[in-house]
Each structure stands twice: as C-alpha cells, then as structure tokens.
Amino acid sequence: MKKIVIDARESGTSSGRYVDKLLENLHRLEPAYDVVALVKSHRLEYVRGIAPGFEVVCCDIKEFTLAEQVGLKRQLDGIAPDLVHFPFVQQPVRYQGAVVTTMQDLTTIRFRNPAKNRVVFAVKQAVYKWVNKQAARKSVRLITPTEFVKQDVAQYTGVDPAKITVTLEAADRIPDQPRALQALAGDDFIMYVGRPMPHKNLQRLVDAFAILKESHPQLKLVLAGKKDVLYDRIEQGVKDRRLGDVVFTGFVTEGQLRWLYENCRAYVFPSLSEGFGLPPLEAMMHGAPVVASSASCIPEVLGDAAHYFDPLDVAMMAACIAEVLDDGKLRARLVRAGKAQAAKYSWKRMARQTLDVYKSALDDPGSMPASDG
C-alpha cells in the first residue's frame, strides 16, 4: 500500500484549520493509502482523536527554519513516503520525493509586516519568494483554495495552470452557546474579527467608521482579535484622534464570537488580499449581513451574498456600510443570501477533491488533471 505523508505542523493555528479539517474529513473517506501525519507534540492527541486510523508522528520542527530544511528532510527520507502533501508552502526545498503543495495565497510576498525590522523582513521576504517559486515548480501537483489564487500562482511562478487544482474550503458553525460581551449588550455595532496585518486594511475601516459616526452617532466598531503590537498601534491612533466607540476586545472565546456574529448590525471585511476568506463566510452562517471588499478572491467566495466596496475608497466603504445599516430590505436579502452562500461550501468535498489530487499524482505524476476551479 502506498504511503502519503501530510505535514500537519500547523494544526491548531488559525491557518491550520485547513489541515485539521483535511485530516478529519480525509480519514472519513477511508483512503486506500497509509497516511502519516507529522504533528507537533502538543497536538498529537487531538489529531489521533480526529484521525485514529492514520499514523500520527511527532515533528516539532519549526516552520521557516534551517531545521526545516535539514531536519524535516531527514525525517521524510527516513519515512520514505510515495507522496508528501505540504498544506502550506514552507517545506525543505531539497527534498527529492514526489510532492503536492497547497499554496494558500501570495499575500506575504506583496505586503510588509511593519512590526518587524525592515531589513530583516526584506531578507526573509526575498527567501520566501524564492521558496514559493521552487515549491511550485518542483511539486507534481499544486492546490489552491480559489480560482483567483490559481491564476495568481500560475502567473507568478510560471507553472502550467493545468498543474493546479482548486479545492474550495468551508466555514463551520460555532457549536458553543453564544456568550454576550456585557459591555456591548444592547448596543448597535459593526464588527471585524482577525489579525490586524496591513493587508487586512483596518486603518481604512477605522477611517470609514469616523465618517459613519456623523450619521450614526450611537454606532460602535468592534475589532475582535488577540492584542499585538499592530493592534496596539491602531488603538493608539484611535486615542490620538479622540475617536470614540471603537472597541478592541482582545481575544474572544468561540461563544463570544458567535454572540458577536449574531448581534452585530453588519460584519465588515475590508481586506486588500485573501486566499479564501473564512471569517465573512462564518459570519454569514450565523446570520450577519456582510459588507466586503471587492479585492482579490473575495467576490469569488462570497458571490452575490455581500455588499461590496472598493477597499481603497474610504468614503465608499462608509457609504456601503450605511446602506446596509439603513436599508432593512437589503439587510434581509444579505442575511438570506449569506446563509445560502455559506451552505454551498463543504470540507468533505474539499477532502474528496484533495484525495483525487493524491491519486492523480501517484498514478501518473507526469499527467495534469483537470482543475476543479
């Protein structure tokens, strides 16, 4: 029986939801392969619980390190798999075996992290660009989460688009009971949840909120997510301009997040660049009307279930949010369409499509399967 290794070192992180859902749903498909998951020590029991039929092996090698280039390659050589799936681009570039790589997006190539040393980050970004091209060219198959990313990857790396398969991801309904944030109970608020990286475009969202306050003085803007230096900078900017009613919640539990989705007047997604964009789909699933950026893959994923704005146009962003706040019929349509849109996506289908990529790569590595995009 052929052996497939899945690099699951990102299990348990926000981006690692993809690999967790892949393992869980792939296991349910009972693939005719020996599947080995490489997992960090603190996630071993979790992965064994969702995929008890797979072999789960400890791999505490940190991503984007020399140890990854040397130690992970040595570990893979020792396992001697017929195929390795890297769910993210980070991998030992000198590994010579057959590889499938999922390229989530090219955002890190295009945006700088201002919290990092400019020179150090520039060097790391240059290395990351090289790794992306090397991984794309040496992989026998590539997977992307959207058609937009497929075309972006093909253009950037020069690989044949026929080598790339689109496997759409999915949102999950939060099982925890909603738990109110008492400081917001009874208030009208719009919200965003996630990291404050530059491509998330939160400064323009704050600027749009300042415009909204003129016509909606009771409205609050809730920015939910673990505090870090970038959130601290945004918060300080809000204080400096004396802009009231911007609430920085810090980390929220799953129950609190569900309550925010279910009680917000709108979920706003102002991002400049995404590979898929799970939060607005998750918001839709919980009945929030979504106002979203028209950039990158976002219209592809959200379809006609969101109200779109140009993410570089602050006035337009404010106007579109105001339209959703003030137009009951528009709100109701977005809520209905959002629930239907979120229901179109399936982790089970994603796993089945990924299994088809494995079969194609193992059975005839020289051929190119038709994309599902």
The model's pLDDT over 279-294, given as tens digits with 9 standing for 90+, comes to 999 999 999 999 999 9
pLDDT at 122 over 50: yes
Q: Which residues pair with 290 in a beta bridge?
A: 267, 306
What local confidence, expressed as pLDDT, does residue 366 receive? 64
160 and 203 part of one domain:
no
Tell me if 49 is assigned to some domain. Answer: yes
What value does the mean pLDDT take over residues 249-257? 97
63 and 93 part of one domain:
yes
Tell me if 215 is assigned to some domain. Answer: yes
CA distance 93 to 73: 9
228 and 158 part of one domain:
no
Decide if 84 contacts 101 (C-beta within 8 A): no
Sign of the dihedral through C-alpha 37, 40, 44, 47: negative
110 and 225 part of one domain:
no
CA distance 106 to 224: 25
209 and 320 part of one domain:
yes
For the whole model, what pTM was predicted?
0.93
216 and 192 part of one domain:
yes
Q: Are strands 141-144 and 164-166 parallel, antiparallel or unpaired?
A: parallel
61 and 80 part of one domain:
yes
83 and 19 part of one domain:
yes
Assign residue 298 the CATH number of its domain. 3.40.50.2000
203 and 166 part of one domain:
no
Tell me if 161 is assigned to some domain. Answer: yes
pLDDT band at 372 (very low <50, low <70, confident <90, very high): very low
Tell me if 371 is assigned to some domain. Answer: no
* Domain total in the chain: 2
What value does the mean pLDDT take over residues 241-263? 97
DSSP string, 123-141: HHHHHHHHHHHHHHHH-SE
Residue 158, SS3 per DSSP: coil
101 and 214 part of one domain:
no
Tell me if 227 is assigned to some domain. Answer: yes
CA distance 358 to 1: 14
Using alpha carbons, select from 351, 357, 359 the residue that is nearest to residue 162. Answer: 357
Structural domain harbouring 79: 3-170+346-363
| Residue 57, C-beta contacts closer than 8 angstroms, at least 6 positions apart | 36, 37, 38, 39, 79
333 and 352 part of one domain:
no
Residues for the chain: how many in total? Answer: 373
What local confidence, expressed as pLDDT, does residue 367 receive? 57
Phi, psi (degrees; rounded to nearest 5) at 196: -95, 35
What value does the mean pLDDT take over residues 349-373? 80
Tell me if 80 is assigned to some domain. Answer: yes
CA distance 196 to 218: 24
14 and 115 part of one domain:
yes
What value does the mean pLDDT take over residues 3-11? 98
